[in-house]
A = this chain, B = another copy of it.
Amino acid sequence: MNDTRAEYLCGRLDFWDSLSERQQSRLLDGTTISRYKKGSVIHNGVGDLGLIFVRRGRVCVYTVSEEGREFVLLRLFAGDCCALASLPMENTGFPVLINAETEADLMIIDSQAIKDICKTSIKAESFLRQLTMRHFCDVVSNMQNMLQVSAERRIVAYICRESDRMGTARIRTTHEQIARHVGTAREVVSRTLGRLASSGALELERGVIIIRDKSKLRKLM
């Protein structure tokens, strides 16, 4: 009766087959499937949610500074798995928040189930350690990128990436969203987009950016 969940976890957790039936059912007991609407809050940073798997859609994992500035830690796509929602703020010193950027289907294994399995399965511990290490490396690369590359280049790269991903020259997004993704201020995004529009590379409509000259844009990356 737990077919969907068991099948999915079996394909995603390389240690699944090494678990006893009892361990497998402990994990399944703690596993839920949920659908989130575009823009909805998946995790508000309070308590620990657990291990999340993105089955469909796009999810943003970010943190907020005391001054209220948001920084994207990771973006997750279908097939991705994330352990950061099991980090309570007492341990990190910063909140981990998660939003659905598009409608998203998630499978979530609650923290307690993960903890229980990790007590007895060395392969589960090892899986989590490797996942944590991957998150670490991804976040360092992202942050390094933010610190080094000028805001303009990051904004242009973001627009090109979104366009490639969606297969369209019309990108629905707000200046606020771009600012959050590339780690800059909204004003910097507005100014940069204005400049790119004057140069003929882009056209701006309310809530939409239209790429007019992609080769010009690419030269700025």
B140 and A139 contacting across the interface, CB-CB below 8 Å: yes
Instruction: Give the most central of A135, A137, A183: most B CB within 10 Å.
Output: A137
Interfacial chain B residues near A69, Cβ < 8 Å: 148
A92 and B146 contacting across the interface, CB-CB below 8 Å: no
Query: Size range of the interface on A?
Result: 20 to 34
- Given contacts A125-B129, A126-B118, A129-B125, is CB(A183)–CB(B137) below 8 Å? no
Question: Can you name the residue of chain B whose Cβ is closest to the Cβ of A129?
Answer: B129
Interfacial chain B residues near A8, Cβ < 8 Å: none
- A residues within 8 Å of B by Cβ? 63, 65, 67, 69, 71, 73, 87, 91-94, 118-122, 125-126, 128-129, 132-133, 135-137, 139-141, 143-144, 146-148, 183
Extra contacts besides A132-B136, A139-B140, A139-B143 (10): CB < 8 Å: A87-B133, A91-B133, A92-B137, A93-B141, A125-B126, A125-B129, A129-B129, A129-B132, A132-B133, A139-B139
Cβ contacts A to B, 18 pairs, < 8 Å:
A63-B140, A63-B144, A67-B148, A87-B133, A87-B137, A91-B133, A91-B137, A92-B137, A92-B140, A93-B137, A93-B141, A118-B126, A129-B129, A132-B132, A136-B136, A139-B143, A146-B147, A147-B183
